[in-house]
Structure 1
């Protein structure tokens, strides 16, 4: 016996197997997209790494100050190592 696979047959199959689609959506959950909903710092760091962003965000002035501190610290360390 040959089964005619018409549009009605495809729709009936879709309705019959609809419960299987729910589980696929649960497996592809990608986490929160709203930063306010990420509670802990570690979650925010992980999410920032996934997205390729830097966290916490730093201004150019903060970067400049940090660079100056590292520069001064590196000069002091080489001075003490020479003696």
Structure 2
């Protein structure tokens, strides 16, 4: 038997393995992107907004400096 194993055959076999294994649910979930892999600042800002995070992260000193004293209005 001369079986040609082309891209379609490999994709079919891959799908069959996923259906049989318990990895089927895990393969559908994508891992969170690493901030190091996101190059453009606008992409980082959009993703941080989706996650409900502050970006760029502020230090304690920056947070304290941003707060207005109660006496000054």
Normalized per residue, the structure richer in helix is 1
Q: Which has the bigger relative contact order, CA under 8 A and spacing at least 6?
A: 2
TM-score, normalization by structure 1 = 0.43
